[in-house]
Amino acid sequence: MGDGERETWTTEEFGSCHTGAVGVVLDDGTVPRPVYFDASSGGGGQAVSQWSVYDGRPRQGPRTAALRAVCSCGWNGPEQRLDGEEIGDQDLQTAGAGAADTCMRDWDAHTVDVERSAVPLPEAVTVLLEQLEVEVEKLAKSSPLAAIRAARHLEVLAAQTAYWPARDARRDADPGQAAAALGLDESGARALLARFGRWSPSS
């Protein structure tokens, strides 16, 4: 996804395993390198990959021809072409805002696909989880401390109920299978199983 700083998106469930952003594509189909900005004080600088810096102006990045959603898992969304003549001298942050919003929606659709491809939860479990979330949110309005206690109970319950399943999954599923079932990359799946199964992720 590039090493420069830029705005990124994640979901609560998939976290950094599916980090989304607006990617830049040049006229020749290549992805530009991050743009390096020197610090005004002369004490170093910053590498930036934010799509809006690729406007072709002096001291900025090369002019982008298209934007597309990108994800840390390697997925790329469809290109949203930018009309250079139509943009003219407009600020790219403004002129490209519509295409950038489309990229975010494309990435949202990607995470929905990831969720659908993960191992399904029984409807009864999904309903109970949704109901529990609603009840804790209600509790938070009347008694924040009681809501915190409820959340603590959920932490304990998660640790207790996931211990043996995590160890069974480690034994029965290879890393690729576990990652696909959980909607994570292999590193993320390994860390999650290790946390629930209480072993070191490096072991």
**Which tens digits make up the pLDDT trace of 56-78?**
888 788 999 999 999 999 999 99
Domain closes at, from 62, 84, 117: 117
Mean pLDDT, all residues of the chain: 93
Q: What are 162-189's pLDDT values in tens digits?
A: 999 999 999 999 999 999 999 999 999 9
Answer yes or no: do 141 and 192 share one domain.
yes
Answer yes or no: do 109 and 127 share one domain.
no
Report, as an integer, the average pLDDT of 119-130: 97
Cα distance between residue 108 and residue 89, in whole Å: 31
Mind giving me the DSSP string for the chain? --SSB---B--TTTGGGG-EEEEEE-TTSPPPPPEEEE-TTSS-EEEE--GGG-S--TTSPPPPSEEEEEETTS-B---EE--HHHHTTS-HHHHTHHHHHHHHHHHHHHHHHHHHHSPPPPHHHHHHHHHHHHHHHHHHHH-HHHHHHHHHHHHHHHHHHHHHHHHHHHHHS-HHHHHHHHTS-HHHHHHHHHHHHTS-TT-
Residue 42 clears pLDDT 60, i.e. is over it:
no
Per the structure, the count of domains in the chain is: 2
* 135 part of a folded domain: yes
Tell me the CA distances in angstroms from 29 to 3, 32, 79, 101, 133, one per residue in order.
19, 10, 10, 21, 45
* 6 part of a folded domain: no
Give the pairing type, strands 80-81 and 45-48.
unpaired
Q: By C-alpha distance, which of 127, 137, 83, 111 is closest to 10?
A: 111
* 4 part of a folded domain: no
* 80 part of a folded domain: yes
* 1 part of a folded domain: no
Answer yes or no: do 183 and 139 share one domain.
yes
**pLDDT at 45 (0 to 100):** 78
Report, as an integer, the average pLDDT of 79-100: 90
Domain closes at, from 117, 144, 177: 117
Answer yes or no: do 104 and 143 share one domain.
no
Q: What are 96-111's pLDDT values in tens digits?
A: 999 999 999 999 999 9
Residue 47 belongs to what domain range?
15-117
Which pTM does this prediction carry? 0.85
